[in-house]
Copies of this chain bind each other. A is one copy, B any other.
Amino acid sequence: MGTIRVVIENIQPQIDGGSTPVRRVVGEDVSVEARIFTDGHAQIDGALLFKAGTSADWQSVPLLACGDDLWRAAFTVERLGRYEYTVCAWVDHAHTWQRDFKKKFAVAQETEVDFLVGAEHAHELALRATDADARRLSEWANALVDPNRSREERAALADSEGLRKLAHRYPDPLLVLRHEPALGVEVERERARFSTWYELFPRSTATTSGVHGTFADCEARLPYIAAMNFDVLYLPPIHPIGATERKGANNRARATAEDVGSPWAIGSAAGGHKAVHPALGTLEDFRRLVARAEEHGIEIALDLAFQCSPDHPYVRAHPEWFLLRPDGSIQYAENPPKKYQDIYPFNFETAAWRELWAELKSIVEFWIAQRVRIFRVDNPHTKPFAFWEWLIAEVRKSRPDVIFLAEAFTRPGPMYRLAKLGFSQSYSYFAWRNSKTELTDYFTQLAQAPLAEFFRANLWPNTPDILTEYLQFGGRAAFTVRLVLAATLGASYGIYGPAFELMEHSAREPGSEEYLDSEKYQLRHWDLEREDSLRDFIARLNRIRRDNPPLQSNRRLRFHAIDNAALLAYSKTSADGSQAVLVVANLDPHHPQAGFLDIDLEAIGLGADDAFQAHDLISGARYLWRGPRNYIALDPRHAAAHVLRIRHHLRSERDFDYFA
């Protein structure tokens, strides 16, 4: 259409040219901006259009000009699933006329013809208007050219705000450009953004040492977990475990008869991915655990580990899903020269890939039918990206409330790709980011576009596979500071317990990140009542997260200058900017550290001269500060970090209540 004169460029947010939707949770805003301009000097106008995927109706929000051709508007996503948004714009002749008329009138130019032009614009708008609006436009046009009215009176009419509004409502379709195709938003529930995870091995929950734990034991553990204010309980695979090539304790190549095997070697004569390990109980027991957890405000997350032990029923029923070697054997997992003979990977290049995909999807559906809504996916980067994209989209069609966490510890490309294709959350590099520079660089990157638009990091200071050097050698202070960092840098974080709260820190061998006597291969019995347990500290921290919206999102993270390389300072603010939490952490678990903090006051909504209260939510202490520069000293023997709620709007120092 040769009459369209506007140009729309660089609509943001937009990932990979629109091929990837941005991600939000219900209730969040999508703030959209674009560069819009036209040739010449005409005024332009435009609208942000959006709709929920299932709806046929586009809703419209006027775009506001922010200068330098930038236009902006926002909408709120209110439903789960897909939204679409786009931008349209047009040359607005009526508004152009208003602007130019004003300038001419101001310098007393002759304007009689201009009144006629203005009336013509109104009459043209009227042709596209509702009856009521058309009447208003005609009346205005007639008044504008009414010889009985004074020139001044008519000039006042020309500046009508109502005309601008009606011009917005009835643009000339021959002039309207609409950006196609529309861009997507994938909307999940709030827990996709804000979640607090606890991982444990169900088989280690028995009250008696050496006894295999059950789902019933897990039930009994729920109050303990709930008291620490976790809202997701993640269980490693709960399925029957293979016997062939089973690994022994500490990953020994040969298992003894007592060895319980790795839960990730899934499948035995007792069943595969849709069965539960007989020693844990029955499917009914599992469903009861899910229901009890729910009563405690806890969701059960299951592990999706799409691989088989040699004893898995699939191996016999569907040999075509595995890679056959020339000698007739099935190819086990290997990363030469390492061999994992207890694991058969699926061959996703099989000609029968459609059947394989369908079966794997049925596994997810099976557990959804048992009321599971969260899945932690084991090593998704070792299965095809196209498979996950399909699977997640299929599942979300009927159940948009299902959350998938990607356990991919690999290069950035594959990790971010998994997030783009649909994973709600992703494990992150957090465990290996220990220095101030590392933490600042990594989390600054995650908090900014494009990553902030699709990648939701879940921060784990430890996992059954990861006992970092920092935790092995840093003592209690290392555990507390890593916990504070995880819980405040990450809207979602998790710990592997009770190893974490009991500060388990012995590695299998020097230089290894594997736990000694790892629960991956054997039962463990934990003394939960130990005096030095971090459980109360964890409970307090998770309560702080619950009470403080700034900690429930990663979008408004800002690092602040502090003149000591061992001290890290950062803030998060709530979406409306009214609340702020400032964290200062001592990254050195061995020595007291002190320095001057230089707060970027504007970033936390304060003026340069405001007095404000910094309320340490961990210790309870309250400090009255004024201005950016404040002295911080942290002794890891007593407190590894401040988590400071910034309280604004103190009218004067006298209003500060030392006893609040």
Chain A positions near chain B (C-beta within 8 angstroms): 2-5, 7, 9-10, 16-18, 35, 37, 39-41, 68-69, 91, 99-101, 103-104, 106-107, 109, 113, 116-117, 119-120, 174-175, 325-327, 329, 334-337, 348-349, 353-354, 357, 381-387, 390, 411-414, 417
CB of A326 within 8 A of CB of B7, answer no
Given contacts A9-B16, A10-B16, A326-B120, contact A348 B109 (CB under 8 A): no
Q: Are B116 and A327 in contact (CB under 8 A)?
A: yes
Report yes or no: A2 in contact with B386, Cβ–Cβ below 8 A.
Answer: yes
Task: For A113, give the chain B residue with the smallest CB separation.
Answer: B327
Q: A337, B104: Cβ atoms under 8 Å?
A: yes
- Given the known interface contacts A16-B9, A334-B100, the answer about A39 and B69 at a Cβ–Cβ threshold of 8 Å is no
Residue of A7, A101, A175 with highest tally of chain B CB at under 10 A: A7
Known: A120-B326, A387-B2. A411 touches B348 (CB 8 A): no
- How far is A325 from B16 in the complex, measured between Cα atoms in Å? 47
Judge whether A411 and B120 touch: CB under 8 Å: no
Cβ contacts under 8 Å, A116 to chain B: 325-327
User: Which residues of B have CB within 8 Å of A354?
Assistant: 2
B16→A353 contact, CB < 8 A? no
Please indicate the chain B residues that have their CB under 8 angstroms from the CB of A386 in the complex.
2, 4-5
Given contacts A9-B16, A385-B39, contact A337 B113 (CB under 8 A): no
Do B336 and A5 touch (CB < 8 A)?
no
A510 vs chain B, min Cβ distance (A)? 22
Residue of B nearest to A380 (CB): B39
Q: B117 to A39, Cβ gap below 8 A?
A: no
Tell me the complex Cα distance, A101–B385, Å: 26
Q: Are A337 and B4 in contact (CB under 8 A)?
A: no
What's the least CB distance linking A508 to chain B, in Å?
21
Given A116-B326, A327-B116, do A413 and B69 touch, yes or no (CB 8 Å)? yes
Identify the closest chain B residue to A381 (Cβ): B39
Most-contacted residue by chain B among A91, A103, A109, A384 (CB, 10 A): A384
Residue of B nearest to A339 (CB): B109
Distance A462 CA – B354 CA, assembled complex (angstroms):
68
Contacting pair B417 A7 (CB below 8 A) = yes
Q: How far is the CA of A327 from the CA of B7 in the complex (A)?
A: 32
Report Cα–Cα, A325/B327, bound state, in Å.
89
Cβ contacts under 8 Å, A417 to chain B: 7, 9, 37
Instruction: Determine how many copies of this chain the complex contains.
Output: 2
- A337 is contacted by which of B7, B103, B325 (Cβ under 8 Å)? B103
Q: In the assembled complex, which residues on chain B have CB atoms less than 8 Å from the CB atom of A326?
A: 113, 116-117, 119-120
B39 to A414, Cβ gap below 8 A?
yes
User: CB < 8 Å: which of B37, B175, B337 contacts A109?
Assistant: B337
Known: A39-B385, A40-B382, A103-B336. A348 touches B5 (CB 8 A): yes
The complex places the Cα of A18 from the Cα of B17 at a distance, in Å, of 8
Docked pose: A327 CA to B17 CA in angstroms: 49
Partner of A349 from the list B69, B175, B335, B412 (CB cut-off 8 Å) is B175
How far is the CB of A658 from the nearest CB of chain B, in Å?
Answer: 49
Q: Tell me whether B348 and A3 are in contact (CB under 8 A).
A: yes
Knowing A69-B411, A348-B3 are in contact, say whether A383-B353 is a contact too (CB < 8 A).
Answer: no
7 other A-B residue contacts (CB within 8 Å) besides A2-B390, A116-B325: A5-B384, A16-B17, A37-B417, A39-B414, A113-B329, A116-B326, A116-B327
Determine how close the nearest CB of chain B comes to the CB of A25; give it in whole angstroms: 26
- The residues of B that contact A411 with a CB separation of less than 8 Å are 37, 68-69
Say how far A323's CB is from chain B's closest CB, in angstroms.
10
Is B384 within 8 A of A2, CB to CB?
yes
Q: Which residues of B contact A113 (CB under 8 A)?
A: 325-327, 329
Closest 3 A-B residue pairs measured CB to CB?
Answer: A17-B17, A116-B326, A2-B353
CB distance from A255 to the nearest CB of B (A): 22
Instruction: Give Cα distance in the complex from A182 to B3, angstroms.
Output: 29
A35, B413: Cβ atoms closer than 8 Å: yes
Interface centre among A39, A334, A412 (most CB of B within 10 A): A39
Q: Which residue of B lies closest to A10 (CB)?
A: B16
Q: Are B117 and A325 touching (Cβ within 8 A)?
A: yes
Q: Which residues on B sit within 8 Å (CB–CB) of A109?
A: 336-337
Q: How far is the CB of A119 from chain B (nearest CB, A)?
A: 8
A41 with B3, Cβ < 8 A, contacts A113-B326, A325-B117 known: no
Given contacts A103-B336, A326-B116, A413-B69, contact A39 B3 (CB under 8 A): no
How far apart sit A386 and B6, CA to CA, in the bound complex (Å)? 9
Taking CB atoms, residues of chain B closer than 8 Å to A41 are 335, 382
User: A2, B357: Cβ atoms under 8 Å?
Assistant: yes
| Known A-B contacts A117-B326, A384-B39; A337 and B2 likewise in contact (beta carbons under 8 Å) | no
Question: Which residues of chain B have C-beta atoms less than 8 A from A334's C-beta?
Answer: 100
**Separation in Å of the A124 CB from the closest CB of chain B?**
12
Distance A69 CA – B414 CA, assembled complex (angstroms): 9
CB distance from A388 to the nearest CB of B (A): 9
Q: How far is the CB of A336 from chain B (nearest CB, A)?
A: 4
Say yes or no: B100 contacts A336, CB within 8 Å.
Answer: yes
Cα distance A107–B68 in the bound complex, in angstroms: 64
Chain B nearest CB: distance from A284 CB in Å?
A: 36
Give the nearest-CB partner of A387 in chain B. Answer: B2
**A40 to B: closest C-beta gap in Å:** 5
CB nearest neighbor in B for A116? B326
A20 to chain B, nearest CB (A): 10
Residue of B nearest to A327 (CB): B113
- Which chain B residues border A412 with CB–CB below 8 Å? 68
A26 smallest CB distance to B (angstroms): 29
* 24 A–B pairs (Cβ distance < 8 Å), ordered by A: A2-B353, A2-B384, A3-B348, A3-B353, A4-B384, A5-B349, A7-B417, A10-B16, A35-B413, A40-B383, A41-B335, A41-B382, A99-B336, A103-B337, A104-B336, A106-B337, A107-B337, A109-B337, A113-B325, A113-B329, A116-B326, A119-B326, A120-B326, A175-B349
Q: Are A381 and B40 in contact, with the CB atoms below 8 A?
A: yes
Q: How far, in whole Å, are A102 and B350 apart by their CA atoms in the complex?
A: 26
> Judging by beta carbons under 8 Å apart, are A39 and B383 in contact?
yes
In this complex, what residue of B is CB-closest to A175? B349
**Please, how many angstroms separate the alpha-carbon atoms of A383 and B336 in the complex?**
64
Per the bound structure, the CA–CA distance linking A91 and B347 in Å amounts to 13
